[in-house]
Chain A
Amino acid sequence: MAAASLTPAPSAPPAIRIQGVSKTFGSTRALRDVSFEIPRASVHALCGGNGSGKSTLIKILAGVYQADEGTLEIDGQVHDATRTNPTWAEASGLHFVHQAVGAFPSMTVAENFAVGSTFGARALAPVPWRNVHRRVQEVLDRFEIAVSPKAVMAQLAPATQTMLAVARALQNEAEAGRGALVLDEPTASLPSDEAAAVLDAMRGYARRGHAVIFVTHRLTELLAAADSATFLRDGRHIETCKASVLDERGLIERITGQPSSPADLEPAQTTRGSVRLELSKLSAGPLDDISFDVHAGEILGVAGLLGSGRSTLLQTLFGVKPARSGSARLDGTPMNWSEANAAIRAGIAYVPEDRAGQAAFPELPVRTNISAPNLRRYWNGLRLRRAPERSDAQAAIEHHNIKVSGPEAPFATMSGGNQQKVVMARWLGLAPRLLLLDEPTQGVDVGARSTIHQHVRDIAATGTAVLVVSSEPQELVDLCHRVIGLHQGRLVGEASGNELTVQRCTELGHGLTDRDGTPGGELKVVTPARFPQPPTTTEREQL
């Protein structure tokens, strides 16, 4: 047992008491003196925006990171938070289910349960399958999951797989009265009815005496399932309170730290030209009946959660994902291409969310990373002319303020922010008619972020229509003229001018529509329907 020192426990100690935990990464203070406690036999929600410190806190509990200072008290035992490790977390009864469930899809339920152990056999002895199946059946009974231990994982519903992941994490925890179960966005990839089943199961664990901590960005879920909630913002503990005193607006105020007040920012300069992009009843992937326009020179933001269809929207417009129905027009011409090549030639540029996997040529020089979509420009029929290619790259490096030794430096040797600037330079150099940005400043430091924002504003000023997807409301407010909300595949509203605030963007992302006509009216939550109806004309006028 690492870092354990026994202290006399007070009567009925909380499941977890976090005391004065701080953590610094380089110059970033991820957690500052965070203290709160989580009672036994309850569901506790951990809330906060991106960069609030909640993932860091979970990783300290899991022993992946070590805190700089502070203590963790688990079931009355005080541990030094600077000396945690995964073995310690396991031994203390802390169990984790991460967003990617981590199952082996082609293996059976029993094999999935037993794979981390020795299957009850010595290294080369035959696995006693009968015992394994019996033991797994006991666990399944205990968690009331009606599947056979012999069922193949991939054939089960996603919600069942999530519940099995929970049962697997807790399989050796015979008595519920110790430790805690930590669920990191357990429902992020589930449709709402399956998510409800997982939430029911979660409440069941709590009733049986488990302490459950969960992270979710779906506010309705949080209000439905949690007994209490802790809010973190910028690494600080803001508040721990009963969930019963919260409503959606209260949640958002606590997450963003901004009361619902009119924006004090000047409305962004709009130089709207003619309609450049026109979507009409577009359906693709999770997207359902999406219609909106983007004007030349306009920066339109899309607020939406993971799984809302925000990335699908951009990929469909770029031609790399097919549309089911509906149409999209660019300057009046139908966009009916099915490969990136045609989209690029039509004047569309796309910066994907996953820089490392989808935008980078890691070992190739900055020069070829920039010229990649534009080789035609340097091809004179006989050879690729290096000199203009190199001088263009050098000009881009200077224009975008990219910190790199020169055009020949390999892409991967740069920091994340500079890599992203290179990707932006690649596309902005083409002077696109429509620029599609998916999380353009993810994992990018503040300086690079403002440079990137400035270049997006500059290109919009030349008449480019820009569509920005961001999970950071602040970025949408900083960058966009107008923001639309996308929730579970449907448009839920829009904000512009004075209405364009961090709070409003957060609401849009979480599926809250406009106030009901009258000021101060009740908020409507768009309930996800299996067969969504198209909005009526009056509703659309409000959008």
Chain B
Amino acid sequence: MSTTTSKEQTTVSLPRKAGRPRPDRPTRRLSWLDVGERFGLLVLLVAIVILCSVKYPDTFATTANWQIIASSQSVNLVIALALMVPLLSNNFDLSVGSTAALSSMVAAGLMARDGLNLAEALVAVFVMGLLIGAVNGILVTRLGLNGLIATLGSATLLDGLQSWYSHNQSISSGFSQKLVNFGTDTLWKVPRLTVLALILALITAYVITQTPFGRRLVAIGSSSPAARLVGVRVDRLVLASYIVSGGLASVAGVMLLSEQGSATPGTTGIGVLLPALAAVYLGASTWTPGQFNVVGTILGLVLVAVTVSGLTLAGSASWVSGVCNGAALIIAVGASAAFRRKRRGA
């Protein structure tokens, strides 16, 4: 080099940079795209909240409205968690909504008709949920059925059982008043149901991210044959994930009874399932993009709920809820699939 700059002269005493082995690594840049992926949903949520709060300060931005949103989404959150656990291993459990609806009805029936006390009814319903999960798990692992189809079948079957058990009649009295009170109580202005749902979400997040169980489920979801060859007992873990799913769904059922104060036979599985499914997939498109996660799922649920609430206050008819959930599901599945593809390098 003929032109020596002053900068080069200052480094003369040091070993020349070119002489040192430089780590041949592409540096990882946190591009705006990555940030957008991770926090895009959060930014969108905040924007909608601000917009609605400014537009409807008297109706939207009130404690009462937020309490309604929080309370109504608590059951959805627990169902979303139930959906997410087997979904980590790439297995659907579409029966979670129906399990919850049946659990709600059976809990009410056991107390109102059979005279069981609250604790006994809770235990009975929880065991029922675990059994339903076990049956689903056996269908998928032992009999090798496709989880999507098998649990769609069990969902329909459970809806039928619910109709049979209830004789198509609502149960709105005769069960524990404590349970009904729990559904309307608040703890420092936060509905108790929401507190319970958040505690369950925290536990689920812990299990998914901090334990070998969660890590192995994620490994199965990424590649089941590879998981088997690193020593994961694939069938056993998938079965376990369905049992956890069934248990969580039955808890969601009792929460549904508590929130609504009655069990109505019209509550079918798919209606309860869809918002949860949309939330889980919205969650997979944010926070840790391409992977199912609890924080993203909560954000997804709140986003859809706030949007519906805002549109309802703006005077839209009751159909907006269905349209929003459906649209959210399609957008979410598309986005999370795109992020997953990107990570797979395809």
User: Real complex partners, A and B?
Assistant: yes
Q: What's the Cα separation between A364 and B232 when bound, in Å?
A: 16
Chain A residues with CB under 8 Å of B223's CB are: 357-358, 360-362
Segment among A15-23, A336-344, A452-460 that sits at the interface with chain B = A336-344
Chain B residues with CB under 8 Å of A307's CB are: none
A309 → B minimal CB distance (Å) = 19
A405 interface residue per 8 A CB criterion: yes
Q: What's the Cα separation between A339 and B227 when bound, in Å?
A: 12
Tell me if B212 and A379 are in contact (CB < 8 A).
Answer: yes
Chain B residues with CB under 8 Å of A368's CB are: 215, 218-219
A375 interface residue per 8 A CB criterion: yes
1/0 per residue, CB under 8 A from A, across B197-214: the answer is: 000000000100011100
Enumerate B267-299 residues with CB–CB distance to A below 8 Å.
Answer: 290-291
Contact A364-B230, Cβ < 8 Å, known A403-B24, A412-B344, A413-B345: no
Tell me if A375 and B216 are in contact (CB < 8 A).
Answer: yes
Tell me if A361 and B28 are in contact (CB < 8 A).
Answer: no
Q: What's the Cα separation between A61 and B111 when bound, in Å?
A: 77
Selected from A340, A341, A403, the residue in CB contact (under 8 A) with B25 is: A403
Q: What's the Cα separation between A343 and B28 when bound, in Å?
A: 37
Tell me if B222 and A363 are in contact (CB < 8 A).
Answer: yes
Selected from B28, B226, B231, B233, the residue in CB contact (under 8 A) with A359 is: B226
Contact A340-B344, Cβ < 8 Å, known A360-B223, A384-B210: no
Q: What's the Cα separation between A436 and B227 when bound, in Å?
A: 17
Tell me if B25 and A364 are in contact (CB < 8 A).
Answer: no
Most buried by A among B210, B228, B343: B343
A195 interface residue per 8 A CB criterion: no
Tell me if B343 and A410 are in contact (CB < 8 A).
Answer: yes
Q: What's the Cα separation between A359 and B231 when bound, in Å?
A: 12
Total interface residues on B, CB under 8 Å, equals 31
Contact A405-B215, Cβ < 8 Å, known A358-B229, A362-B345: no
Tell me if A384 and B211 are in contact (CB < 8 A).
Answer: yes
Chain A residues with CB under 8 Å of B211's CB are: 379, 383-384
Q: What's the Cα separation between A404 and B26 when bound, in Å?
A: 7
B27 interface residue per 8 A CB criterion: yes
1/0 per residue, CB under 8 A from B, across A51-73: the answer is: 00000000000000000000000
A350 interface residue per 8 A CB criterion: yes
Tell me if A384 and B212 are in contact (CB < 8 A).
Answer: yes
Most buried by A among B206, B219, B227, B229: B229
Enumerate A68-83 residues with CB–CB distance to B below 8 Å.
Answer: none
Tell me if A362 and B219 are in contact (CB < 8 A).
Answer: no
Chain B residues with CB under 8 Å of A406's CB are: 25, 28
Chain A residues with CB under 8 Å of B27's CB are: 405
Q: What's the Cα separation between A453 and B112 when bound, in Å?
A: 72
Enumerate A290-340 residues with CB–CB distance to B below 8 Å.
Answer: 318, 320, 339-340
A122 interface residue per 8 A CB criterion: no
Q: What's the Cα separation between A406 and B233 when bound, in Å?
A: 29
Chain B residues with CB under 8 Å of A410's CB are: 343-345
Q: What's the Cα separation between A292 and B212 when bound, in Å?
A: 38
Summed over the interface, the residue pairs from A and B with CB atoms below 8 Å come to a total of: 92
Tell me if A405 and B25 are in contact (CB < 8 A).
Answer: yes
Tell me if B24 and A409 are in contact (CB < 8 A).
Answer: no
Tell me if B229 and A363 are in contact (CB < 8 A).
Answer: no
Tell me if A362 and B233 are in contact (CB < 8 A).
Answer: no
Tell me if B222 and A361 are in contact (CB < 8 A).
Answer: yes
1/0 per residue, CB under 8 A from B, across A406-423: the answer is: 100110110000000000
Chain B residues with CB under 8 Å of A404's CB are: 25
Most buried by B among A341, A359, A363: A363
Tell me if B340 and A373 are in contact (CB < 8 A).
Answer: no
For B290, the closest partner residue in chain A by CB is A363
Tell me if A364 and B231 are in contact (CB < 8 A).
Answer: no
Tell me if B229 and A320 are in contact (CB < 8 A).
Answer: yes
B284 → A minimal CB distance (Å) = 11
1/0 per residue, CB under 8 A from A, across B279-322: the answer is: 00000000000110000000000000000000000000000000
Tell me if B28 and A375 are in contact (CB < 8 A).
Answer: no
A352 interface residue per 8 A CB criterion: yes
Q: What's the Cα separation between A359 and B112 when bound, in Å?
A: 55
Contact A376-B212, Cβ < 8 Å, known A320-B229, A340-B231, A405-B28: yes
B144 interface residue per 8 A CB criterion: no
Q: What's the Cα separation between A333 and B27 when bound, in Å?
A: 49
Q: What's the Cα separation between A361 and B224 when bound, in Å?
A: 9
Enumerate B140-163 residues with CB–CB distance to A below 8 Å.
Answer: none
Contact A364-B219, Cβ < 8 Å, known A379-B212, A405-B26, A412-B343: yes
Q: What's the Cα separation between A410 and B26 when bound, in Å?
A: 14
Q: What's the Cα separation between A343 and B231 when bound, in Å?
A: 8
Contact A341-B222, Cβ < 8 Å, known A320-B228, A379-B212: no
Contact A361-B343, Cβ < 8 Å, known A344-B231, A368-B219: no
Tell me if B226 and A340 are in contact (CB < 8 A).
Answer: no
A241 interface residue per 8 A CB criterion: no
B187 → A minimal CB distance (Å) = 27
For B210, the closest partner residue in chain A by CB is A383
A265 interface residue per 8 A CB criterion: no
Enumerate B315-346 residues with CB–CB distance to A below 8 Å.
Answer: 340, 343-346
B40 interface residue per 8 A CB criterion: no
Tell me if B229 and A339 are in contact (CB < 8 A).
Answer: no
Chain B residues with CB under 8 Å of A383's CB are: 206, 210-211
A426 interface residue per 8 A CB criterion: yes
Q: What's the Cα separation between A360 and B206 when bound, in Å?
A: 25
B225 interface residue per 8 A CB criterion: yes
A147 interface residue per 8 A CB criterion: no
Most buried by B among A318, A340, A383: A340
A412 → B minimal CB distance (Å) = 4
Q: What's the Cα separation between A384 and B212 when bound, in Å?
A: 7
Chain A residues with CB under 8 Å of B206's CB are: 383
Selected from A359, A376, A379, A382, the residue in CB contact (under 8 A) with B229 is: A359
A525 interface residue per 8 A CB criterion: no
B326 → A minimal CB distance (Å) = 27
A372 interface residue per 8 A CB criterion: yes
Q: What's the Cα separation between A344 and B211 when bound, in Å?
A: 20
Most buried by B among A375, A382, A384: A375
Tell me if B222 and A373 are in contact (CB < 8 A).
Answer: no
Chain B residues with CB under 8 Å of A320's CB are: 228-229
Tell me if B345 and A340 are in contact (CB < 8 A).
Answer: no
B221 → A minimal CB distance (Å) = 9
Q: What's the Cα separation between A10 and B251 when bound, in Å?
A: 85
Contact A361-B226, Cβ < 8 Å, known A340-B231, A384-B210: yes
For B228, the closest partner residue in chain A by CB is A340
Q: What's the Cα separation between A401 and B340 when bound, in Å?
A: 27
Tell me if B222 and A364 are in contact (CB < 8 A).
Answer: yes
Enumerate B229-280 residues with CB–CB distance to A below 8 Å.
Answer: 229-233
Selected from B26, B225, B232, B344, the residue in CB contact (under 8 A) with A363 is: B344
Selected from B225, B230, B291, the residue in CB contact (under 8 A) with A373 is: B230
Most buried by B among A339, A372, A376, A379: A372
Q: Which residues of B contact A (CB under 8 A)?
A: 24-28, 206, 210-212, 215-216, 218-219, 222-223, 225-233, 290-291, 340, 343-346
Report 29 cross-chain contacts, Cβ distance below 8 Å, ordered by A residue.
A320-B228, A343-B231, A344-B231, A352-B229, A357-B223, A357-B225, A359-B229, A360-B223, A361-B222, A361-B226, A361-B227, A362-B344, A363-B340, A363-B343, A363-B344, A372-B226, A372-B227, A373-B230, A375-B212, A376-B212, A384-B211, A384-B215, A403-B24, A403-B25, A405-B26, A405-B28, A406-B25, A412-B344, A412-B346
Known: A361-B219, A368-B218. 10 other contacts (CB 8 A): A362-B343, A363-B340, A363-B343, A372-B219, A373-B230, A375-B215, A379-B212, A406-B25, A409-B28, A426-B230
Closest A-B pairs by Cβ, 7 of them:
A412-B345, A363-B343, A361-B222, A341-B231, A383-B210, A373-B230, A372-B230
